[in-house]
Amino acid sequence: MLSKAVTRGVFIALIAGGALAHSGVMDATVMARMETMVAMQKQMKLLGQMSKGVTQFDPDTAQTALERIETLANETPETFEVPAEDPMSEARPLIWDEFSAFSQEAEALETLGATLVIESKADLAPAVRQLGQTCKSCHSKYRE
């Protein structure tokens, strides 16, 4: 029992570590774009936990997370520009066949991040849902 819990703790620590979770990734460009995505995930988790009441609602923290997502979305086309490959990558080659359509998915997220306003706790759930749909829209086309 105990060892299982410990193992799980280590696993979570690795995921949270980001870079460590990708120790199998050899290509630096692929690593960099994965890190961008992991950073997105981190902000989404922060918003999600606040929405569920796991953490206390703080409008400034929420707004900062939103701005961070906006910036990361802005950086996404650039991080994916080079069609780098790695056995660990989940990026579909379609990205580079239609790079401008791919970039538009990132722009949609950037625009949403800039548009959403989180003033009260009640704003969180719809914001997280809308953001999540935008992530999913890109993933469903361009991620394996």
Q: Binding residues for ligand HEC, per CB under 6 A?
A: 30, 33-34, 37-38, 40-41, 44, 69, 76, 89-91, 95, 102, 105-106, 109, 131, 134-135, 138-139, 142-143
Least distance CB 106 / ligand HEC (angstroms)? 4
The CA distance from 68 to 102, in Å, is 20
Residue 6 vs 126, nearer CB to ligand HEC: 126
Cβ 54 to ligand HEC shortest distance, Å:
17
What is the gyration radius of the CA atoms in the chain, in angstroms?
16
| Contact (Cβ atoms closer than 8 angstroms) between residue 50 and residue 124 | yes
| H or E element in which residue 85 lies | none
Q: Which is nearer to ligand HEC, 3 or 144 (CB)?
A: 144
Distance CA 28, CA 1 (A): 38
